[in-house]
Amino acid sequence: MNVGVIFAVLDTESNKAITLPDFKQKVKAMHMRLDDEEANALFRHLDLNHDGSISYNELVEMFSNINTTQIIKKMQKVILGSKVEPEFYFTKSCLSDTSKQKLN
């Protein structure tokens, strides 16, 4: 799974920006143990230009500072538990060239 896939999963409105409500919804769905204040703080940390949303470029820039292994495992669990075929989900949701993006 690459950053583009993670971004697509978080960008529920498919508008190439992750809003705070999108972010909080996905954090909750991944059963991350963050309270509201912690989720807000993490969002503000990822929103580098402080425009109220996280862009793809901001996520890429901050990605190396996040425990990606744990997040990816949680995302896989949520997606696999949704009763939607993972390949269908990623084909439908990815930002570009979905033929090479696979769920590991």
**What residue spans define the domains of the chain?**
3-96
Confidence band, pLDDT 50/70/90 cuts, at residue 97: very low
pLDDT tens-digit map of 4-55 = 777 887 877 788 899 999 889 888 887 878 888 988 998 998 899 999 999 9
Of 62, 83, 79, 65, nearest in space to 5 by CA: 79
3-class secondary-structure state, position 101: coil
Mean pLDDT across the stretch 70-91? 64
Q: What is the structure's pLDDT at 54?
A: 93
Q: What is the CATH number of domain 3-96?
A: 1.10.238.10
Q: Give the DSSP H/E element, type plus range, for residue 54.
A: strand 53-54
For residue 70, is pLDDT > 60? yes
Q: What percent of the chain has pLDDT over 70?
A: 62
For residue 100, is pLDDT > 50? no
pTM: 0.56
Q: What percent of the chain has pLDDT over 90?
A: 15
Mean pLDDT of the chain: 74
Axis crossing angle, helix 20-29 with helix 36-46, rounded to the nearest 10: 120
